[in-house]
A and B are shown apart, each in its own frame.
Chain A
């Protein structure tokens, strides 16, 4: 039945008489066991290598991402020749307890409820989770609140390992609503998790402000603390850059305060004030009303975050006439004394364009055109320049283009009607209708007149502090738009507007100011024609005379109800802010007031 082995023994017995099948079974057993061990080793060391490695590292190593500090924002205080904080990182604290280490939950709950009475249900539920190593009780506690809670818990002799405070840096915007549009805010990104700068500077410089996260990889001891002499790889976090603005907080405060008061007085729906230093295009103040508090941005409707001084373009009205006049004078097509006969209206194709209130001024000079804000005179000046040249100047003054100011959400306005090659569009554009501009474009164009005809990029950044190194931003001149002689002539003509024209309320006693009003009708939405509502603008600069003016100011009031014209609304607001700046910068009067 069985094959015979050597020596005639059955095959399944060896020489000592032990059955071979038992050895074979043992062999198979060991082979299977070895195979299983090999398989398990393969599973552990190859297939699950990463998981076990991570688990082992978790036990003896610490990996910690080091969050960078978001850069802070400062503004000028010219009075003290220093800077002051505008946006800082405020330490706030999250209070947590360790339910699994709390020995007397009911007493603990009573004490916690006495500290946080509005969270009683939440506290009870959290403390009753007996295996929970971490239960967050309250977030964003101020330092004083933290100190107070610590004192209460210490007095109650709470074990130190049953509770704790985690520090967190919260973006804190000082001066609340004074710079909401300017700074923007740190909100939640589209992914719903990470924080990102939104609107204003926070959005424009988000990458720079954010910095770069670092990493700490180190061996840890049994209690989880890093071993100081152990293996350690440290890639330090790179903090975000600090930004130092050109905005002066005192001028900003006065401008915003005066704007809010006038908006209320004239029952306007809103307004804008921009103050620029024409020497280098730096912005001293950028104020809008209504504004918002970036500390509490969640309570504000989304439409209010957009900065109207940059994003909302509008038909500027007569405040645009000096641009037309500058083009005509620069082309030597007219001089301030060039005269024409105003008949009260100009007919172009099927359209008749008249002066405001259908006034007829008769023989008028170009100075009269600005002094009395004559529409037909602006058309006369544009015709003297010609369509192509006029369009060239409008573009060179920066209309229809972004100014490049370092704030998110800038609009470029709309001057496309000048590409249509129809005289009617040019004619209306010459006195500020049919084209749209932003307040920032307008003040930049006036600054070019104030600074000898050279257009400069407006800026709100004085310097950036990157990795501790302060980098000043250079002046960026865009080009010579009009000749210095034309600029001087225009300054004189705009001075005459305030001294001899309809805008006497923009005067500041003792100083020569230059400027122009604009009372612009608002186009009907989706229909032809204009509504009865108006936007009042004044753009001016001063003191005019010796050297470069100290400031250019734009004042815009939206839909004021109690006054019909800008000379009664935005012009006196200009004078009020100008007087403050003259005193603040201690600029002596040119004449006895």
Chain B
């Protein structure tokens, strides 16, 4: 009887230990995964900020104007408004 009790207690301890270690291991690997994802998120946020700067710089009016001139575009100052049955359409002369 005593042996059976000891065996049961031992089994319980082993089971609890097993669950404890597996939980800790799982949590630890989850923690590492969270850290990795966090680093990845930070890197993506940085990249996003850099792209935001690049977008802003590419949309600069001075830069757009210079690029338009480079490809031979000129300012259109003569607009013609055409009346259609349902609306008014603006076109370029």
Interface residues, chain A, with chain B CB atoms under 8 Å away: 84-85, 88-91, 143, 167, 169, 172, 174-176, 178, 225-229, 249-250, 253, 579, 583, 586, 588-589
The answer to whether B81 and A589 have CB atoms under 8 Å apart is yes
Closest residue of chain B to A144 (Cβ to Cβ) is: B50
Measured CB to CB, the closest approach of chain B to A182, in angstroms, equals 15
Q: Are B56 and A88 in contact (CB under 8 A)?
A: yes
Contact A229 B61 (CB under 8 A): no
Report, nearest first, the 5 A-B pairs whose CB atoms are least far apart.
A228-B31, A588-B81, A85-B56, A229-B27, A253-B61
| A90 B31 Cβ-Cβ under 8 A | no
**A225 — which chain B residues lie within 8 A by C-beta?**
35
Task: Determine if B30 and A172 form an interchain contact, defined as CB atoms under 8 angstroms apart.
Answer: no
- A523 CB to closest chain B CB (Å) equals 38
Which one of B34, B56, B57, B62 lies within 8 Å of A228 (CB-CB)?
A: B34
Q: Is the CB of B46 within 8 A of A228?
A: no
12 A–B contacts from the bound complex (CB under 8 Å): A91-B49, A91-B50, A175-B60, A176-B62, A228-B28, A228-B34, A229-B27, A229-B31, A249-B61, A250-B61, A583-B77, A586-B81
Which B-chain residue is minimally distant from A174 (CB atoms)? B56
SS of A interface (majority): mixed
A174 touches B60 (CB 8 A): yes
Chain A contacts for B90, CB-based, 8 A = 586, 588
**B55 at interface by CB-CB < 8 Å:** yes
Beyond A579-B77, A588-B88, 18 extra complex contacts between A and B, CB < 8 Å: A85-B55, A85-B59, A90-B49, A91-B46, A91-B50, A172-B56, A174-B56, A174-B59, A174-B60, A175-B60, A176-B62, A228-B27, A228-B30, A583-B76, A586-B81, A588-B81, A588-B90, A589-B81
Complex CA–CA separation, A265 to B35 (angstroms): 62
Beta-carbon contact of B49 and A84 below 8 Å: no
Instruction: Tally inter-chain residue pairs, CB-CB below 8 A.
Output: 59
Which B residues lie within 8 Å of A167 (CB)? Answer: 46
Min distance, Cβ B4 to any Cβ of chain A, angstroms:
37
B79 within 8 A of A: yes
**Is B32 interfacial (CB 8 A cutoff)?**
yes
Nearest-neighbor residue (CB-CB) of A80 within chain B: B59
Provide the residues of chain B in CB contact with A91, threshold 8 Å. Answer: 46, 49-50, 53
Contact A172 B31 (CB under 8 A): no
- B79–A175 contact, CB under 8 A? no
Contacts of B62 on A, CB cut-off 8 Å?
A: 175-176
CA distance in complex: A490, B26 (Å): 80
Please give the distance in Å from A134's CB to the nearest CB on chain B.
21
Q: What B residues does A174 contact at CB under 8 A?
A: 56-57, 59-60
Q: A583 near B79 (CB under 8 angstroms)?
A: yes
Contact A228 B53 (CB under 8 A): no
Q: How far is the CB of A170 from chain B (nearest CB, A)?
A: 10
Measured in the bound complex, the distance between the Cα atoms of B79 and A25 in whole Å is: 113
- Rounded to whole Å, the gap between the CB of B31 and the closest CB of chain A is 3
Least Cβ–Cβ distance between B74 and chain A, in angstroms: 14
- Residue B15 at the chain A interface, CB threshold 8 Å: no
Q: How far is the CA of A56 from the CA of B41 in the complex (A)?
A: 31
- Contact string against A for B residues 37-59, beta-carbon threshold 8 Å, 1 for contact and 0 otherwise: 00000000010011011011101
